[in-house]
Amino acid sequence: MKKTFKRILYGGDYNPNQWPREVWNEDIRLFRKAGINSATINVFSWAKIQPSENEYYFDELDEIIEMLSRENYDIVLATSTAALPAWMFKKYPEVARTDFDGHHHKFGQRHNACPNSPIYQKFAGRLAEKLAERYGSNEHVTCWHVNNEYGGECFCENCEKAFRVWLKDKYKTIEALNQAWNLEFWGHTVYDWDEIVLPNALSEGIDYERTAFAGMSIDYRRFNSDSMLNNFKMERDAIRSFDPHTPITTNLMGTYKNLDYFKWAKEMDIVSWDSYPAYDTPWSMVAMRHDLMRGLKGQPFMLMEQTPSQQNWQPYNSLKKPGQMRAQSYQTMAHGADTIQFFQLRRSAGACEKFHGAVIEHAGTENTRVFREVSRLGEELKTLGDRLLGAENPAQVGILFDWDNYWSLEYTSGPNKDLKYVDQIHQYYRYFYEKNIPVDMIPADADFSKYKAVIAPVLYMMKDGMQQALEDYVKNGGTLVTGFMSGIVDQSDNVHLGGYPGPLRELAGIWVEEIDALAPEQSNTLRFTDGTEGVCRLLCDIIHLEGAVSIADYTSNFYAASPAVTKNSFGQGTVYYVGTQLEQNALGKVLNLVMASADVKPVIDETTKLEITCRTISNQCYYFIINLTGETLSIPHIFTGKEDILTGNVLTSQTTFAPYDVALVCEEKK
């Protein structure tokens, strides 16, 4: 795979404009000592660069870029358009957002621009163009960073008018829209496009996560995502008019709900994202989000932000333990990152992020634990050089992740309020993570034929083409795993009539008559055909077999003895249907059967609690061996006698891995 950068970018967000000039030289001295080789600059400098409507000031930014260029830094140059200057709100109040409750905002915060404001679009596009004209030819500008962490929604009159245009383009006729949204319900039929109102608290919205008409609200999610994407494309194109080659990105946020990242990735040269797990986030969830970011384009990504130690905005902002930042950084690289970047390089003196961790703490010295750990990692990355850049993550399993399903599943009224999309996907991902089985996170329109097994939990919304694609995949020998709340609705959230799971019914060889919802304190039991028993919760499908065979039956409730988990042969392939939320051991038993029948192999044959991940490039396999368990573990036998290229040490049968220890082993492909 082609390399985007010449070296591993190691640095992060740098805001010298917040500090007097005498601090800048000290920063450079410390960065040099820490092995920092890149800086993300100009993220929130719009007010400094453009102090009034027709006035631009680039002198300070010129100095910053000249200083970093002189030091041979890779510069990630942001466009500053994520927070608007006060003068714009004062003169053009329509640039501000209107929130879900109908309040029109004033100047303040960030992500504060209406994406459909022509005024915002004009000034943002002009600023991006001026920056590209001035700095696009600088060889040290390695990447353009448009805006910052796009997010939120707007419900203003500009958006309402733009939404009507978007809908007219999609549905063509008002009759088609009425049918798609099922507006005959409650007598909400509309007869003209200007009768359509936004689904907020003043209309169809019950609250931010609930709605009376899911079809309308899902379309508004799509429209909002498209609106912000159009802003990104506008700035990207403005940059391209002066700089035709430098990669352009914007930093995404993992499983963030509001934006369809698979659609966004098609417009980005490289995916970048900000990783901020909480103190209790499972490592499997961290890994899943990395794999999702890699999966957006099927190529390596940039880690644009992580904290060197401590965050400030979560409820409990624990320090990273000694070694944790290093281990977490290598886990990121193991799952596809070609950069390690921090927020922030120097800790701010004031405002809401003053307690967010940084390479240089408020003490302003290199004599800190965090600085020493950053320096150690910097030395190791320098030694690695470009060996891993562009390396791939081969996988035999694809897990389907789809934002339309994310939105629709969580808008649905019933059957259980605790049904959450990301949690359902993560339950399956966790199995593969703990078995060291590589996974690709894939979109609904992926090429399924690349995988021995495709996992598609809660495939609630079956859009056009999905039924045929899945049937072709299984018919040609693929193994599909799906389950409860799958095949229920079409792209407008209208039920596929004829019995659940709708378009998946023939494929799965079952008919689901009813869906029981279990409260948190309730559970059911089941028994596999080999006598093993398990526990299930949340939802229970009441299943009739139509060609499939049961591999586990319920043993409690009025539907005891009916199937809970089924297996169906379809063409040359197999479909497993999991009709309930299995507890971990029971789900593991099902997936063990799946992996055996699909002939899916882990990275190494040995069982270990260590995370073992492999990236490949040319004829080299790089094995990342990471201990994220909190206990000391032995080295797998397969790695004895191998060199840890991070330290130069040879791994022996006596080698143990303490918590957060890492090794990297390189071998020829077999």
Write the CA distances from 297 to 304, 347, 369, 387, integer angstroms. 16, 33, 36, 21
Residue 154 labeled ligand binder: yes
The pLDDT tens digits for 140-172 are: 999 999 999 999 999 999 999 999 999 999 999
Pick from 222, 223, 168: which is nearest to 196 by CA? 168
Helix (H) or strand (E) holding 214: helix 214-240
In the chain, the percentage of residues whose pLDDT exceeds 70 is 100
Residue 536 labelled as part of a binding site:
no
pLDDT, residue 350, reads 87
Beta strands in 385-509 (DSSP E): 397-400, 439-442, 453-455, 479-483
Per-residue confidence (pLDDT) for residue 36, from 0 to 100: 98
How far apart (Å, rounded) are the C-alpha atoms in residues 176 and 189? 11
- The pairing of strands 656-657 and 633-634 is antiparallel
Q: Tens digits of per-residue pLDDT, 502-548?
A: 999 999 999 999 999 999 999 999 999 999 999 999 999 999 999 99
Per-residue pLDDT for 321 more than 60?
yes
SS3 sequence of 592-626: HHHHHHHCCCCCCCCCCCCEEEEEEECCEEEEEEE
- Is residue 26's pLDDT more than 90? yes
Is the predicted pLDDT of residue 106 greater than 60, yes or no? Answer: yes
> Could you report the per-residue pLDDT of 609-637, keeping only the tens digit for each?
999 999 999 999 999 999 999 999 999 99
Phi, psi of 574 (to 5 degrees): -140, 145
Average pLDDT over residues 13-19: 95
Token couple for 84: 């608007």
pLDDT of residue 669: 85
User: Is residue 148 marked as binding?
Assistant: yes
Confidence grade of residue 1 (pLDDT, cut at 50, 70, 90): low
pLDDT at 477 over 80: yes
Task: Assign 112 a pLDDT band (cuts: 50, 70, 90).
Answer: confident
User: H or E stretch including 543?
Assistant: strand 533-545
110 marked as binding residue: yes
Residue positions annotated with a catalytic role: 149, 305
Instruction: State residue 206's pLDDT score.
Output: 87
Per residue in 339-394, pLDDT tens? 999 999 999 988 888 999 999 999 999 999 999 999 999 999 999 999 999 999 99
Report whether pLDDT(670) > 80. no
Residues 568-590 have pLDDT tens digits of 999 999 999 999 999 999 999 99
**Whole-angstrom Cα distance, residue 143 to residue 5?**
9
Across the range 13-29, mean pLDDT stands at: 95
DSSP state of 77: E
Average pLDDT estimate for 39-49: 97
Contact 120, 80 (CB under 8 A): no
> Is 159 marked within a binding site?
yes
pLDDT digits (tens, 9 = 90+) for 304-316: 999 999 999 999 9
Mind listing the pLDDT tens digit for each residue in 166-210?
Answer: 999 999 999 999 999 999 999 999 999 999 999 999 999 888 899
Report all structural domains of the chain as residue ranges with CATH numbers, in order of start: 9-80+118-149+246-384 (3.20.20.80), 397-598 (3.40.50.880), 611-668 (2.60.40.1180)
Output Rg (C-alpha) for the chain, integer angstroms. Answer: 26
Name the residue with tokens 């995404």: 252
352 is in an annotated binding site: no
Q: Using CB atoms within 10 A of its CB, is residue 297 exposed (0-12), middle (13-18) or buried (19+)?
A: middle
- Residues 351, 73: Cα–Cα separation, whole Å: 28
Cα 483 to Cα 316, 322, 501, 556: the distances in Å are 35, 42, 9, 20
- Of 140, 90, 114, nearest to 246 by C-alpha is 140
pLDDT band, residue 2 (cuts 50/70/90) = low
DSSP 337-357: EEEEEES-SB--SSSTTTTS-
Q: What local confidence, expressed as pLDDT, does residue 207 receive?
A: 87
**Mean pLDDT value across residues 393-413:** 97
What is the average pLDDT score of the chain? 97
